[in-house]
Amino acid sequence: MSNELLAHELRHRRNGAVVLGLVLAGYAFFALAISGSLTQTVDNLTKNMPQSLKAFVGSNVPGGYIVGETFTLIAPIALVAYAVIAGSSAVAGEERDRTMSMLSAQPVTRTRILTAKACGIALSLVAVTALFWVGMALADLAYGSPLTPGGLAAGATHLLFLGLAFAAIALAIGAATGRPAIASSTAGGIAVAAYLSNAMLPLAGMGRWAELSPWYYALGSDPLRNGLDLPHLGVLTGLGAIALVVAVLAFRRRDLKG
Amino acid sequence: MTEAAIRTSGLTKYFGDLAAVDGIDLEVNTGEIFGFLGPNGAGKSTTIRLLLDQLRPTSGHGQVLGLDLRERSLQIRQQIGYLPDDLSLYPKLTGRQTIDFFARLRGGVDMAYVDELAQRLDADLSRKVGEYSSGNRQKIGLIQAFMHKPALLILDEPNSGLDPLVQQTFQEMLREVRADGRTVFLSSHTLSEVERVADRVGIIRHGRLVVVERVDELKRKAIRRLDFEYSEPVPASLFAGVEGVRAAEVHGAFAEVSYEGSVNKVLQTAMTHEVINLHSRDADLEEIFLAYYRDTDDNDDPQGHTRSSAPSASKDSSHVQ
Ligand SMILES: Nc1ncnc2c1ncn2[C@@H]1O[C@H](COP(=O)(O)OP(=O)(O)OP(=O)(O)O)[C@@H](O)[C@H]1O
Ligand SMILES: [Mg+2]
């Protein structure tokens, strides 16, 4: 029965996830394709910059500036934005649209509704990230680059876990409040603030504080070069798990809105 | 077997300071059609959503089909069919996909019965729900509520958007449910929507159950109206003091009479002059409320409902010349 809920959720998300995945894949493919020539130019520009500024610009990544932009900016922002929108609309969106009234009158518990939605979002994020990785890996095969498919997979996995964590946060706020606008603005605000602090604090010599930001655990270990960082992935997983528990507890307790 | 389909005691729901549902003791018998009537904002939907565990009571408790609302909600929902007020469905699914989704979620739904219901209601299942007229959407909601032959149907304003022919079919379907020994709980604003099918009605106002009454009894007590048109002006005092007359307004050759109980005396009085036209108006819910408030005049009514409705009641009677 809850498979049915999950299937329903996936049907609902399928088109959006596939479109976003293809766009990211296409973007990544072309980014890698042209990175060879552009890297040289940017490297010349950033040669004398301090390391933290290079990190900010994204030119310290193997593959150079373009790959850096793709991995530290474009892809994570797209994934996190998708995660926040999907997470905040999952439960609260059905209340806003007033479809929750009928759904919650079916013989399914609130916990099952919520877990089906969480799984649906997680699988969508996996699909988007996988498509993104395929785009990168294809370009890597076609044009060659200093990156390995394994490094790309590690980078993509870190981004996936970042997306999952923010999706869970947005889901929890939506499940607790029943208001998708509050959920998306709060979770989105947290994501932006965390992004900026991860990017800016090292510039101000306050690198330790950046470790409070989830973005640090997605990008800080430089997974493109160093592969998976399990402790960092563990932090993101823990964050997501806590948010999910909060989501379930809050959603079970309260009055439904729609 | 004799257990009530719905039983609540002191069921109360506050939204902030507002008592949307205020200490409701309700008992709906198995196998009856129960009409739950009340004006906008009376607390009908709130009561229903408490029964479904969508809202949590501030105090009080209740059982549906003998099961505690809070503890056994899942088992309750297995056995009920629900139609929400102001129904919303997934706009991108077709009618058929919508029904299939809810049917699979429940399991064990006889799809042949779904088709039979769709045919009877003349429902179009092929298009996307977002493109439906509100009546068509309502039909999908009804099919969804009836399709698993639930022991209890909880329908929140089911008539809204249905044309008269479909309403008739719908009422037949309700009678069949009752004939099957199953129970129907339906809310409405007006008595006229439920009086043909309901065995009993409860009237809720300001979150309080004002009265529960058999429909035939209620109709007997209801205030009704007759408008007469005479061939020539009649005395303004024509209906004064006539048994059962609550109010009468006479303007020349036109008279509007509100009365309760038997129509006999009113007609006898009316016929003392030459009537050229006669128009009977349905008793509307508000008048029935007023009738009940008058009845409770003598009783102790701590909530002041009687007082708040008194001005309109006295306005009526002041017309008696
Ligand atoms: N979620 C809520 N938050 C705050 N107030 C609410 C909420 N839901 C309902 N109310 C208020 O509770 C009261 C009862 O509302 P309810 O929807 O139960 O009325 P109703 O009898 O179903 O009315 P209608 O005939 O208009 O559907 C109203 O005053 C309404 O404004
Ligand atoms: Mg209502």
Tens of pLDDT, residue by residue over A40-57, are 566 666 666 666 666 665
Pairwise CA distance, residues A191 & A170, whole Å: 10
> Mean of the pLDDT values across residues A143-161?
87
Please list, in sequence order, all residues whose beta carbon lies within 8 angstroms of the beta carbon of residue B1, skipping any fewer than 6 positions away: B30
Between B46 and A225, residue with greater pLDDT: B46
**Beta-sheet pairing, B18-28 with B6-15:** antiparallel
> By the 8 A CB rule, do B115 and B147 touch?
no
> Which residues of A are less than 8 Å from B77 in CB distance?
105-107
Average per-residue pLDDT for chain A: 88
B77:A12 CB<8 A? no
- Say how many domains are in chain A: 1
Please list, in sequence order, all residues whose beta carbon lies within 8 angstroms of the beta carbon of residue A237, skipping any fewer than 6 positions away: A161, A164, A165
Atom of ligand 1 nearest to the CA of B49: 18
A213 occurs within a structural domain: yes
Between A203 and A118, residue with greater pLDDT: A118
**Residue corresponding to tokens 């999910």:** A244
CA distance B273 to chain A (A): 57
Does B111 have pLDDT greater than 50? yes
A108 occurs within a structural domain: yes
Number of H helices, E strands in chain B: 11, 14
A99 occurs within a structural domain: yes
**Beta-sheet pairing, B33-37 with B200-205:** parallel
pTM listed for this prediction: 0.83
Helix (H, G, I), strand (E, B) or coil at B297: coil
In this complex, the residue of B55, B88, B105 whose CB is nearest that of residue A255 is: B55
Does B204 have pLDDT greater than 70? yes
The predicted structure's pLDDT at residue A64:
64
Distance B43 CA to ligand 1 centre (A): 6
The predicted structure's pLDDT at residue B305:
37
B84:A102 CB<8 A? yes
Instruction: Residue A4: count other Cβ atoms within 10 Å of its Cβ.
Output: 19
- B271: tokens are 């016929």
Between A49 and B53, residue with greater pLDDT: B53
CA distance B201 to chain A (A): 24
Range of the domain at A70: 2-253
Distance B156 CA to ligand 2 centre (A): 7
Does B297 have pLDDT greater than 50? no
The predicted structure's pLDDT at residue B289:
60
Does B80 have pLDDT greater than 90? yes
Q: Name the least confident of A59-63, A148-152, A210-214.
A: A59-63
A1:B107 CB<8 A? yes
Does B179 have pLDDT greater than 60? yes
Asked whether the CA dihedral A214, A217, A222, A223 is positive or negative, the reply is: negative
Could you read off the pLDDT of A59-107 as tens digits, one per residue? Answer: 555 556 677 778 888 899 999 999 999 999 999 999 999 999 999 999 9
Pairwise CA distance, residues B175 & B169, whole Å: 10
A44 occurs within a structural domain: yes
Pairwise CA distance, residues A170 & A90, whole Å: 9
User: Minimal CA–CA distance to B82: which of B26, B13, B6, B18?
Assistant: B6
Helix or strand (DSSP H, E) at A207 = none
Pairwise CA distance, residues A50 & A54, whole Å: 6
The predicted structure's pLDDT at residue B64:
97
A175 occurs within a structural domain: yes
Radius of gyration of chain A (CA): 19
A125 occurs within a structural domain: yes
A258 occurs within a structural domain: no
Up-side HSE of residue A22: CA atoms within 13 Å toward CB? 5
Give me the interface pTM, i.e. the ipTM. 0.84
